[in-house]
Amino acid sequence: MNEVLPADDRKVILDWLRPILGTVLPGWTAGTRISPNVTPTNFILIKQIGSLEREISLDEFTIAFQFFGPNGVTDDYDRTRAARIVLAQARRLGARRRGTIPLPDPTDPARSITQATVTVLLRGEQQ
């Protein structure tokens, strides 16, 4: 019996998001990690926060997009707008939107970030 590797959800998301960022959110970048004790600006951190096997080769991933704006203090509009744009674009992946919430910046509690969450179905790779 051949094994099925789950899809690389972060790679799929980055491969989808990076090419459109320059058009839909000029000046923003995205990635799956930030350096310790660094608060990036105009950056989208992508994290998998859950997964569920739907079929042998189909998984449902819950993906969080964390939006770090220009300054984390007075940039709520910028962060929320960026989140809304990405959520709208995520429909092209067949993603279901779960909404946005404000969170404290993990390295500086005086600053805020915005988190948007989606779920997406992705096929795995046959080995």
Here the CATH number for the domain that contains residue 36 is 3.30.70.1700
Domains held by the chain: number: 1
- d(CA 63, CA 47) in angstroms, rounded, equals 6
Cut 0.85: pTM above it? yes
Give me the amino acid identity at 47: K
How many CA atoms are closer than 13 Å to the CA of 106, on its beta-carbon side? Answer: 12
In the chain, DSSP assigns E strands to 4-5, 29-31, 43-55, 58-68, 96-104, 112-123, 125-126
Per-position pLDDT tens, the chain of length 127: 578 888 899 999 999 999 999 999 999 999 999 998 888 999 999 999 999 889 888 899 999 999 999 887 888 999 999 999 999 999 888 889 888 999 999 888 889 999 999 999 998 887 7
How many CA atoms are closer than 13 Å to the CA of 94, on its beta-carbon side? Answer: 7
Domain range for residue 42?
Answer: 4-126
- d(CA 86, CA 16) in angstroms, rounded, equals 11
Residues listed for the chain: 127
Instruction: Name the one residue in this structure whose structure tokens are 């998301």.
Output: 13
